[in-house]
Structure 1
Amino acid sequence: MNRSNLKSFALAATLLLGTGAAMAAGGDVGQAEKQPTNWIAIGMFSAFVLLTLYITKWAAGRTKSASDFYTAGGGITGFQNGLAIAGDYMSAASFLGISAAVMATGYDGLIYSIGFLVGWPVITFLMAERLRNLGKFTFADVAGYRFQPGPIRAFAASGTLVVVAFYLIAQMVGAGQLIKLLFGLDYIVAVVIVGVLMMVYVLFGGMTATTWVQIIKAVMLLAGVTFMALMVLAQFGFSPEALFAKSVQVRSQIAANGGKSPEEAAAIGLSIMGPGGFVKDPISAISFGMALMFGTAGLPHILMRFFTVPDAKQARKSVFWATTWIGYFYLLIFIIGFGAITLVLTNPEFADTATGTIKGGGGAANMAAVLVAKSVGGNVFYGFISAVAFATILAVVAGLTLSGASAVSHDIYATLVKKGKADSASELKVSRITTVCLGVVAVLLGIAFEKQNIAFMVSLAFAVAASANFPVLFMSVLWKDCTTRGAVIGGFLGLVSSVVLTVVSPSVWEATLGYPKGSALFPYASPALFSMTIGFVGIWLFSLLDRSRNAQQERNAFPAQQVRSETGLGAAAASAH
C-alpha cells in the first residue's frame, strides 16, 4: 500500500494548497454580507482536516481487501459502532437542519427529532441481529438471501443509489453554506472543496477511515452541543420556560414589525409553541412521520454499519449505544433551535431583526446553530463548532458514498456482471471509480438545491428508503411467501412512486423547479403514506400471484433463512468466506 499512501498524500497536499488558494481569493469571490476572516475558526477547521487525512493514511495501510474496504474487516466493537452510527445519523440535517427548522417553526421542528429517533426500535427488534447474521457487505445480501441474485440486486442497487443521491444533496448544501460563512468563499467553490475532500477519504481509507472519522466527530459534536445548550439555558437562569417565553416574545415582535395587529402578532408568537407551523394536516403528519420512522430502517449507509461488527450480540449493542447518544443529542438540538430565535434573530450582526431572517441569502438559515455557537462562546467556540459541523458533513458524506460505491461494485459488478467470480482487486477498482462519479453527482446536486432546508431534503431520502428498501427488507426476512418477482416489482413500484410523487410535490415542483404556487400535482410534502403502501401491496400481490418453480423453491428456503437469521448458525463461516 506504499504507492497508495504516496498518492493519498499527494492528493491531500494538492487539495490543501487549493483550499488555501481559494481562501486567499475569498476577498474577491465572497458575498457582500461576508464576515471578516475568522482565523481561529479557520485554524480549527484546518486542524481537523489534517487529523482526518492522517486517519485516512493510517486506514489505507489496513485496507487490503474488499472486506476491509466495505466493512473494516468486521473488527469494530459494539460501543465503537454505536458511536459511529450516531456519528452517521447526527448529520448536517440533524445538527444544522433541525435547529433551523425549530427556529423557523418552533414546536413543529421537533417532528424531525421524534421521527428520526423512533425508527430505532424498529431496527433494534426487527433488523439489527438478522442483518448481521444474513449479510456480508450490503443490505442486498440480506434481502436476496433466498432470492434470485440478478433481479434483487438490480433493485437493491437502484434503491441505494436513489436514497444516497437525495441524502447527499442535503449534506452538500450544508457543507457549502458552512464554508461560505466561514471562509467567505463562493458557494460553488465551497461545495467543490467538500466533494474533493470526501473522495479522498473514501478512495483511500474505505470503511476503516470512515468509521474513525465518524467516532471522533460524534464525540466532538456531543461535547459541543452539550456546552452550547447549557450556555443557552444559562442566559435564562437555566429555565426552559423563560427561554420559550422570550422566543414567543421575539416572534411576536417580528410579526408586529411586518404590519400585523397586536392581536395577530401575539397569536403568531404563540403559534411556535403548538403544532401547525410546518405540518398542516393529518395526512401530511402521518406521511411525514412514516417516512422518518420507517426510512431509518431502509437507509443503506446505516444498514451497512451492522456488517462492521463481529457478531449479532455486538450488532444489538451498537443499536443500544446509538439510540442513547442520538436521543440525548436531539433533546439538546431543540434547546439550540429556540436559542437561535432569542440570540440570533435579535442580533443585528447575524440577522435582519425587523424581518427575522438570517443574513446571507437563501439557505443561510441552515447556519442558525453555528451562529448560536458564536453568540454563546465567541470566536473560539464558533471555530470549534464550525469544524465539528464540517466533520459531521464529511463523515456522513463518506459513509453515503461508500454505500453507493458498494452497491455498484458488489451488487452490480461482482454479482451480476461477473456472476460472483470477481476478484477483490477488480471489485475495489470499480468501487473507487464509482466513488469519483458519486462525488461529481453530489457536487452538481448540491449546487442545484442551494436554497433548500437540509433537514427537509433528508426527509425526502427517508421517504424513498421507507417506500422501496424497507418493504423489501421487511417482507423478505419475515414473510415466507415473499418471492423474487414480488420483491422486485413491489420494490420498484415503491421506488418509482416515491420519487415521482416527491418531484411533483410543492417542495420540489414549486420551491426548487420554480413552477407557480399551487401548481404542484401532489399536495402533500411527503409521499411515504402513499408510496410505502404501494410498495407493500405490490410485494404482497405479485408474490401471491407468482406460481413459478423458482417461487416455490424460495418459499421452501424460508425455514433455513429463519434459522440463520435468528440464531446466526453459519454466519461466521460466510463472513470468513
Structure 2
Amino acid sequence: MNPTTAGTQIGQPNTTAIVFFLLFVSITLAITYWAARKTKTTSEFFAAGGGISAGQNGFALAGDFMSAASFLGIAGLVATSGFDGLIYSVGWLVGWPVVTFLIAEPLRNLGKYTFADVVAYRLKQTPVRLSAAVGTLTVVVFYLIAQMVGAGNLIRLLFGLSYETAVVIVGAVMILYVLFGGMIATTWVQIVKAVLLLGGATALAISVLWQFGFSPAALFSEAVNRYGPEALAPGKLVSNPLETISLGLALMFGTAGLPHILMRFYTVPNAKAARTSVFYATGLIGFFYLVTFILGFGASVLVGRQAIVSVDKGGNMAAPMLAEVVGGTGFLGFISAVSFATILAVVAGLTLSGAAALSHDLWSSVVRKGHAPEAEQLKVARIASLALGILAIILGVVFKNQNVAFMVGLAFAIAASANFPALLLSMLWRGFTTKGAVASMLTGSISAVLLIFLSPTVQVELLGNASALFPLKNPGIVTIPLSFIVGWVVSLVSPETEASARFAEVEHRMHVGAAVAPPVTVPTGVAGTVPPGIPEAPQKV
C-alpha cells in the first residue's frame, strides 16, 4: 500500500471545516448565554456551584487535558518517529493514577477554588498564596503561549487564515466563554469538545484499520516493511536514559500540578465524585492515546513521512492529512474544526485557573484579607479573566515563532517542580511549615526556568550555541527532588508550632471531609467562625 502522492488541500479554505467550526462556536456560545444567567456568585464562576456530576466532570477533565499537543503532536511524533512517540502518551497517562490516589479526594475536601487553598490551609496565608500564585501564573502563561502559538500555526495551515487573525479569533471566543459563563460554560465547552475529539479520532482510527482488515498487526507490519524494524523499536526520539526518565517524571508529576486540572475537582459535590471523575477521565484519556497511536502509524503508512514533514516539519499535520487521505476534504474539514475546538476548550480552562489565582488567591485572600464582598470578588474575577485573555492574544502574537514543545515542556516542568511537591508535603507531612512551602514553590519555579534556559533546547536549538551548560532538555529529574528537599530542609530549620498543631484537623478533613456540605455562597464581613464546609484559614497572615 503506497503513500498518497496527491496534493493536499491543507491551507486552502475548507467549506466543511468552516461549517463545523461555526456550528461548534454557535452551540458553545448558546451554552455560554445559558451559563451566564446561572453564574451569579464566585462559587458558580470558579466551581460551577459544585453541581457537576462525576460523569460530566470526567468528560470535562478529559476535554481540559487532551490538548492539540495530545492529538496532533503525538500522532505526528508516532508518524515520524515510530514507537518512541508513545513516551509522551505514557508519561501523561501515568500521571492520572497519581492524581486519583494522592490528590483528588484530599484536594476536594480541603480546598475551595485553587490548589493554594490546600497548601495554605494550616499555614500563613499571605506568603503561601503569593508563592502559589507565582507558580500558577507561570504555568498558565507558558501553557497559554504554547496553545496560542499552536493555534495560530494550526489555523494558518488548516484554514488558510493569517497567523494573527487565528490568534485573535481564538482569544476573543475564549474570553466570551470565561468572562460571561465562568466554570459552567467552560465545563460544557470541554464536554462537547471531548465528545467531538474522541468521536472524530475514533472514526479516523476505524477508517485506518478498515484499510488493513481491522488488524493492527497488519498495520504495524506495513510500517516495518516501509521503514524497517526500528519503526517499532525505542531509542530514536529519546536515546539518553536519563533524558527519558527526566521527561517521564515531568509529564507524570506535572499532570498532578497543573492548576487548570486541579481546579476541576471543586466542581463536583463531594470527594467521592472527585475520585470517580478521575477514574472516568483516565479511561477516556487512555483510550484516546491508544487511538492516536493507531493514527500515527496509519499516517506514516498511508500518507508517508516525507509528505507529512513537507507540510509541517514538526509532523503536526499528520492526523489532518490522514483524514484527507481516508475520507476526503469533508473528513479533513471535520478534523480541522475539532482541532480548533480542542484549543478553545483548553485555553478557556487555563484562563479560568489564572483568573482564580489573581482574584481568589491574591485579591481576596492577600489584598483584602478574606473580607472582600461577593460582588467585588466576582467583578475582580471577570476583570482578571479579561486581562488574561488579552494578554494571551498579545503573547501569542509576540511569540509567533517560538518552539511550542519547549513551552509545553516548561509548563509541565514548573507544575511538577513548584506545585506538586508543596501540595503533597502540605497534605502528608505534619512538619511542613510556611517557610518550607514558600521555599519549595519558589525553588521549583526558578530552578525549572533556569535549567531549561541552560538546556540544549534553548542554548543549542534556539540560540545556536555549540553546547549547553545543562545537558538534559527537561530538568524534571533535578528540579522535582530539589523542590522536595528544599521544602523539607527549610521546614526542619524553621519549625512552626501552630501549623503542626493543626495537622490533625487537616488529616481528619482530608480523609473524612466537612461535616456539612459547602454552601454555594458564603457571607463575608460577618464576625465569628467560618461557616461549616469552608476551609478555615489560620488567623496569621
Q: TM-score, normalised by structure 1?
A: 0.86
Q: Is the Cα–Cα contact under 8 Å of residues 41 and 521 in structure 2 kept in the other structure?
A: no
2:51, 2:32 → 1: CA distance?
Answer: 17
The residue aligned with 1:48 is 24
2:55, 2:10 → 1: CA distance?
Answer: 42
Q: How does 1:181-200 map to 2 (within 5 A)?
A: 181-200=157-176
The residue aligned with 1:180 is 156
- AA aligned to 2:446 is V
- Given the alignment of the two structures, is residue 368 of structure 1 paired with residue 324 of structure 2, yes or no? no
Q: Pick the aligned partner of 1:106 from 82, 92, 95.
A: 82
Q: Pick the aligned partner of 2:311 from 352, 359, 363.
A: 359
1:220, 1:573 → 2: CA distance?
Answer: 33
1:102, 1:166 → 2: CA distance?
Answer: 25
1:456–1:229 distance in 2 versus 1, CA, 3 Å: farther
Q: Is the Cα–Cα contact under 8 Å of residues 54 and 273 in structure 2 kept in the other structure?
A: yes
- AA aligned to 2:151 is A
Q: Is the Cα–Cα contact under 8 Å of residues 10 and 158 in structure 2 kept in the other structure?
A: no
- AA aligned to 1:541 is V
1:35–1:299 distance in 2 versus 1, CA, 3 Å: closer
SS in 2 for 1:366: coil
Q: Is the Cα–Cα contact under 8 Å of residues 71 and 207 in structure 1 kept in the other structure?
A: yes
- Given the alignment of the two structures, is residue 519 of structure 1 paired with residue 495 of structure 2, yes or no? no
- Given the alignment of the two structures, is residue 478 of structure 1 paired with residue 428 of structure 2, yes or no? yes
Following TM superposition, by how much is the alpha carbon of 1:444 offset from its aligned partner in structure 2, in angstroms?
Answer: 3.8
1:126–1:291 distance in 2 versus 1, CA, 3 Å: same
Report runs of 4+ in structure 1 exceeding 6 Å deviation.
none
Following TM superposition, by how much is the alpha carbon of 1:504 offset from its aligned partner in structure 2, in angstroms?
Answer: 2.0
SS in 2 for 1:357: helix
- AA aligned to 2:355 is A
Following TM superposition, by how much is the alpha carbon of 1:177 offset from its aligned partner in structure 2, in angstroms?
Answer: 2.4
1:106, 1:452 → 2: CA distance?
Answer: 25
- Given the alignment of the two structures, is residue 132 of structure 1 paired with residue 82 of structure 2, yes or no? no
2:182, 2:331 → 1: CA distance?
Answer: 31
Q: Is the Cα–Cα contact under 8 Å of residues 101 and 455 in structure 1 kept in the other structure?
A: no
The residue aligned with 2:47 is 71
How many correspondences in the alignment? 515
1:391–1:519 distance in 2 versus 1, CA, 3 Å: same
- Deviations for 1:212-267, whole angstroms, at most 9, x for unmatched residues? 0111111111111111111111122222233223334444xxxxxxxxxxxxxxxx
Following TM superposition, by how much is the alpha carbon of 1:33 offset from its aligned partner in structure 2, in angstroms?
Answer: 9.3
The residue aligned with 1:304 is 263
Following TM superposition, by how much is the alpha carbon of 1:402 offset from its aligned partner in structure 2, in angstroms?
Answer: 0.2
Following TM superposition, by how much is the alpha carbon of 1:576 offset from its aligned partner in structure 2, in angstroms?
Answer: 5.6
- AA aligned to 2:375 is A
2:379, 2:320 → 1: CA distance?
Answer: 38
Following TM superposition, by how much is the alpha carbon of 1:161 offset from its aligned partner in structure 2, in angstroms?
Answer: 0.6
1:522–1:437 distance in 2 versus 1, CA, 3 Å: farther
Following TM superposition, by how much is the alpha carbon of 1:456 offset from its aligned partner in structure 2, in angstroms?
Answer: 5.4
Q: Is the Cα–Cα contact under 8 Å of residues 44 and 384 in structure 1 kept in the other structure?
A: yes
2:44, 2:373 → 1: CA distance?
Answer: 14
Q: How does 1:522-537 map to 2 (within 5 A)?
A: 522-537=470-485
- Given the alignment of the two structures, is residue 438 of structure 1 paired with residue 414 of structure 2, yes or no? no
- Given the alignment of the two structures, is residue 81 of structure 1 paired with residue 57 of structure 2, yes or no? yes
- AA aligned to 2:482 is I
Following TM superposition, by how much is the alpha carbon of 1:170 offset from its aligned partner in structure 2, in angstroms?
Answer: 2.5
Q: Is the Cα–Cα contact under 8 Å of residues 115 and 289 in structure 1 kept in the other structure?
A: yes
Q: Is the Cα–Cα contact under 8 Å of residues 459 and 465 in structure 2 kept in the other structure?
A: no
The residue aligned with 1:318 is 277
The residue aligned with 2:183 is 207
SS in 2 for 1:136: coil
2:184, 2:481 → 1: CA distance?
Answer: 37
1:33–1:392 distance in 2 versus 1, CA, 3 Å: closer
Following TM superposition, by how much is the alpha carbon of 1:343 offset from its aligned partner in structure 2, in angstroms?
Answer: 2.3
1:133, 1:433 → 2: CA distance?
Answer: 28
SS in 2 for 1:482: coil
Following TM superposition, by how much is the alpha carbon of 1:574 offset from its aligned partner in structure 2, in angstroms?
Answer: 6.8
- AA aligned to 2:255 is T
- Given the alignment of the two structures, is residue 415 of structure 1 paired with residue 362 of structure 2, yes or no? no
SS in 1 for 2:316: helix
1:284, 1:452 → 2: CA distance?
Answer: 22
The residue aligned with 1:505 is 455
1:133, 1:180 → 2: CA distance?
Answer: 44
1:384, 1:408 → 2: CA distance?
Answer: 37
Q: How does 1:5-84 map to 2 (within 5 A)?
A: 35-84=11-60
Following TM superposition, by how much is the alpha carbon of 1:481 offset from its aligned partner in structure 2, in angstroms?
Answer: 0.4
- Deviations for 1:480-525, whole angstroms, at most 9, x for unmatched residues? 00001101112111110011111222223333xx322533222211
2:90, 2:24 → 1: CA distance?
Answer: 31
Gaps of 5+ in 2: 1-7, 523-541
SS in 2 for 1:272: helix
- Given the alignment of the two structures, is residue 157 of structure 1 paired with residue 133 of structure 2, yes or no? yes
- AA aligned to 2:164 is I
Q: Is the Cα–Cα contact under 8 Å of residues 43 and 521 in structure 2 kept in the other structure?
A: no
Q: Pick the aligned partner of 1:546 from 491, 494, 497.
A: 494
Following TM superposition, by how much is the alpha carbon of 1:431 offset from its aligned partner in structure 2, in angstroms?
Answer: 2.1
- AA aligned to 2:480 is M
SS in 2 for 1:419: coil
The residue aligned with 1:4 is none
Q: Is the Cα–Cα contact under 8 Å of residues 12 and 158 in structure 2 kept in the other structure?
A: no
2:60, 2:54 → 1: CA distance?
Answer: 10
SS in 2 for 1:572: coil
- Given the alignment of the two structures, is residue 287 of structure 1 paired with residue 237 of structure 2, yes or no? no
1:576–1:53 distance in 2 versus 1, CA, 3 Å: closer
The residue aligned with 1:349 is none
1:517–1:249 distance in 2 versus 1, CA, 3 Å: farther
The residue aligned with 1:558 is 503
2:448, 2:276 → 1: CA distance?
Answer: 33
1:418, 1:176 → 2: CA distance?
Answer: 38
RMSD: 2.0
- Deviations for 1:329-356, whole angstroms, at most 9, x for unmatched residues? 110011111112122236xxxxx54xx6
Larger CA deviation: 163-172 vs 467-476: 163-172
2:347, 2:394 → 1: CA distance?
Answer: 14
1:156–1:571 distance in 2 versus 1, CA, 3 Å: farther
2:195, 2:9 → 1: CA distance?
Answer: 33
- AA aligned to 1:462 is F
- AA aligned to 1:461 is A
Larger CA deviation: 193-202 vs 376-385: 376-385
Q: TM-score, normalised by structure 2?
A: 0.91
Larger CA deviation: 500-509 vs 209-218: 500-509
- AA aligned to 1:107 is F
The residue aligned with 1:96 is 72
1:436, 1:41 → 2: CA distance?
Answer: 28
1:446–1:278 distance in 2 versus 1, CA, 3 Å: farther
2:387, 2:437 → 1: CA distance?
Answer: 28
Q: Is the Cα–Cα contact under 8 Å of residues 108 and 274 in structure 1 kept in the other structure?
A: yes
Following TM superposition, by how much is the alpha carbon of 1:573 offset from its aligned partner in structure 2, in angstroms?
Answer: 4.3
Following TM superposition, by how much is the alpha carbon of 1:375 offset from its aligned partner in structure 2, in angstroms?
Answer: 1.6
- AA aligned to 2:457 is S
Q: Is the Cα–Cα contact under 8 Å of residues 366 and 454 in structure 1 kept in the other structure?
A: no
Following TM superposition, by how much is the alpha carbon of 1:441 offset from its aligned partner in structure 2, in angstroms?
Answer: 3.1
SS in 1 for 2:38: coil
Q: Is the Cα–Cα contact under 8 Å of residues 165 and 442 in structure 1 kept in the other structure?
A: yes
Following TM superposition, by how much is the alpha carbon of 1:449 offset from its aligned partner in structure 2, in angstroms?
Answer: 4.9
Following TM superposition, by how much is the alpha carbon of 1:34 offset from its aligned partner in structure 2, in angstroms?
Answer: 6.8
- AA aligned to 1:82 is G
The residue aligned with 1:469 is 419
